A and B are shown apart, each in its own frame.
Chain A
Amino acid sequence: MFGQITIENLDYLVQGYVTTIALSLGAMVVALIIGCVVASFRVWGGRVPSSAAVFYVEFFRNTPLLIQLFFFAVVLAPNNLGITADPFLVALIGLSLYTGAFATEAIRSGILAIDPGQVEAARSLGLSQLATIRLVVLPQAIRTVVPPLGNVASALIRNSSVASAIGTRELLFMGLLVANRTFSLEPLIGVLLGYWSLTLTLSLVLGRLERRLAFAR
């Protein structure tokens, strides 16, 4: 019966599915933190911090994730530093740094979208610096930033599959494992359905969010 092999090995696939979700969520949180910090260096920092930020963004955006993951896997290998770097942790670090570069660019575009005159106006109306950021800057920045960050998150879910190359037991890894054991390509359909469920749900949620946040036109 079609689907039988997938159902018999469902626990493996579910384990991979959960790992993919955990990896994507974790990397997205770290990437957002990196993005906020590096983007503010890029925009408000002096010469050294802003050129360091440019270097980080350009280097990580323009090299393949696979090579980055292999590099981190090698550098953080047990025989190197005396620490046991488990594949999940290596993948989390690598994906965070790779995605952080894209998040930086998205957040920077959000910061730059706000007219500095608005900040000056808010300040001269007597709003404190914190109130200016909270009431004037952030509400507008978030609206500009949500669509590009949504694309970054969707790419992250799909990119997390590359972690299988360094042995992270995520969805694609588990799917290939089950396929190898059962000599069947059927589990791979389950893998596809897993990724589709995640990315399509995300784009549905983001579409809703964008409509709610949209400027009144």
Chain B
Amino acid sequence: MRKVASGLGGYLGLAALLVIVVVLVATGVLSQRRWEPFGDVRVWRFILEGLLVTLQIGAVALVASLILAVPLALARLALPNPFRWVVVAWIELVRATPVLALILFITLFMPRDLMSPVWSATIALTIYTSAVLSEILRAGILAIPRGEVDAARSLGLTYPQTMRLVVLPQAFSRMMPALVSQLITLVKDTSLASIAAVSELAGYARSIHSFYGNPAETYFVIACIYFAINYTLSRIARRLELQRAKEPPVTLPPELETAEVQTVR
């Protein structure tokens, strides 16, 4: 298996490289004229401006989602049934909706003079990301042994105190790798805001290539900028995961492990 894969891989890789070079030469992508704008400082200053808008949307949406994810996760875990169903339906339906549809619909529903497209897009991304993060947080909460909650309660802590001092800090540290991965998705999804007339990095790409007439090169350069951000984030997520794996797992004596961890009261 190893031999076949390595031999085939070499040939396929070579063939793919050949096809890419032929396509690039045929389309004139390799001509120097089309790359020249990226040697200009003013172009990079322009790109940086777009990048700042992207980072602003991403940062605001991330913080807002984190704040919203806590009540959503707790509501799904602890509310009595008819109210819980509403929360479950909200989370599941939002997660089943394409982000682009969410962004476009909210931009269309919001009157333009009331709210700029940047804020509509940020709200849409917040709605989506908060639903996903609440599920990640819920998994983190459910992974905490029931015995810890019981211990905290029997020590006289109230339910909010138990959550704030015992459960949530551990759940947050458990969800860190998944949170960083979701941040990568969020950064990628901010590019969809450009379709709703928001001028962020992807929107600036359009301005650059319609001015210089080099769309393929521009999109390649912009893709590399997104890659630099997201690859760094993915390395951080990986390191966090390895750190978690190194920590000794929490083990409880079997009589304290209860099978029923569906509801945290």
Contact = CB atoms under 8 A, between A and B. Distances in A.
B27 interface: yes
B90 interface: no
Given A66-B191, A68-B223, A195 B216 contact: no
A162 B188 contact: no
A111 to B, nearest CB: 10
A68 B215 CA distance: 12
Interface string B225-263: 011001100100000000000000000000000000000
B226 A64 contact: yes
Contacts of B105: 185, 188, 192
B2 interface: yes
A75 B24 CA distance: 8
A64 B101 contact: no
A199 interface: yes
Nearest to B215: A74
Nearest to A185: B108
Nearest to A62: B230
Given A62-B234, A75-B216, A162 B100 contact: yes
B194 A48 contact: no
B211 interface: no
A158 interface: yes
Contacts of B92: 200
B205 interface: yes
Interface in A165-217: 165, 172, 176, 179, 185, 188, 191-192, 195-196, 199-200, 203
Interface string A26-38: 0000000000010
A113 B192 CA distance: 36
A188 B108 contact: yes
Given A63-B227, A81-B23, A48 B13 contact: yes
Nearest to A41: B9
A63 B230 contact: yes
Contacts of B194: 66
Contact of A45 (B9, B205, B219): B9
B27 A80 contact: yes
B215 A70 contact: yes
6 contacts: A48-B10, A61-B230, A63-B230, A158-B96, A159-B98, A172-B100
Interface of B: 1-2, 4-6, 8-10, 12-13, 23, 26-27, 29, 92-93, 96-101, 104-105, 108-109, 184, 188-189, 191-192, 194-195, 202, 205, 215-216, 219-220, 222-223, 226-227, 230-231, 234
